[in-house]
């Protein structure tokens, strides 16, 4: 299995679960067969750009984030503040205002715990 297919599959699964969707629900929103979603998530399907576009619209995320392998984005020598902040911005970009506010309040509580 191609590493890119594995990354794409993992990202589709990640965003699907973050949105609280089943494979069947995502398939319906993206107008593709639900068994195809399973194959994508397992990295078994070589999907087209058209399918990436359908999935990104159904998941309400930019197509580019589906290709990002967050684990490989950072090596132990390459962790820096700017990259981490960029990663967090990408995660928040697809969220609605209410969700961002909830995340912000949660982060504030974590920071308070760290500071105490």
pLDDT tens for 6-41 read 889 989 998 888 888 999 999 999 999 999 999 999
Report long-range pairs for 28-37 (Cβ below 8 Å, ≥24 apart).
Answer: 29/58, 30/54, 30/55, 30/57, 30/58, 37/12
Please classify residue 82 by burial: count the beta carbons closer than 10 Å to its beta carbon, then call 0-12 exposed, 13-18 middle and 19+ buried. exposed
The CATH classification number of 3-66 equals 1.10.260.40
Helices (H) then strands (E): counts for the chain: 8, 0
Q: Which helix (H) or strand (E) holds 27?
A: helix 23-30
Token pair for 26: 């995502």
Q: Is residue 93 predicted with pLDDT exceeding 80?
A: no
- Look at residue 65 in the predicted model and tell me its pLDDT: 85
All structural domains of the chain with their residue ranges: 3-66, 74-115
- Look at residue 110 in the predicted model and tell me its pLDDT: 92
- Look at residue 76 in the predicted model and tell me its pLDDT: 42
- Look at residue 23 in the predicted model and tell me its pLDDT: 94
pLDDT in tens, 45-79: 999 999 999 999 999 888 888 887 654 444 444 45
């Amino acid at each position: 299995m191609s590493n890119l297919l594995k990354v794409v599959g993992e990202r589709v699964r990640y965003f699907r679960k973050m949105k609280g969707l089943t494979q069947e629900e995502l398939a319906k929103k993206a107008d593709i067969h639900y068994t195809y979603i399973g194959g994508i998530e397992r990295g078994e399907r070589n999907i087209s750009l058209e399918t990436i576009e359908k999935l990104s619209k159904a998941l309400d995320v930019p197509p580019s984030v589906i290709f990002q392998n967050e684990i490989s984005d950072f090596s132990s020598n390459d962790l820096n503040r700017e990259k981490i902040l960029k990663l967090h911005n990408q995660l928040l970009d697809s969220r609605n205002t209410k969700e961002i506010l909830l995340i912000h309040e949660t982060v504030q509580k974590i920071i308070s715990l760290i500071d105490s």
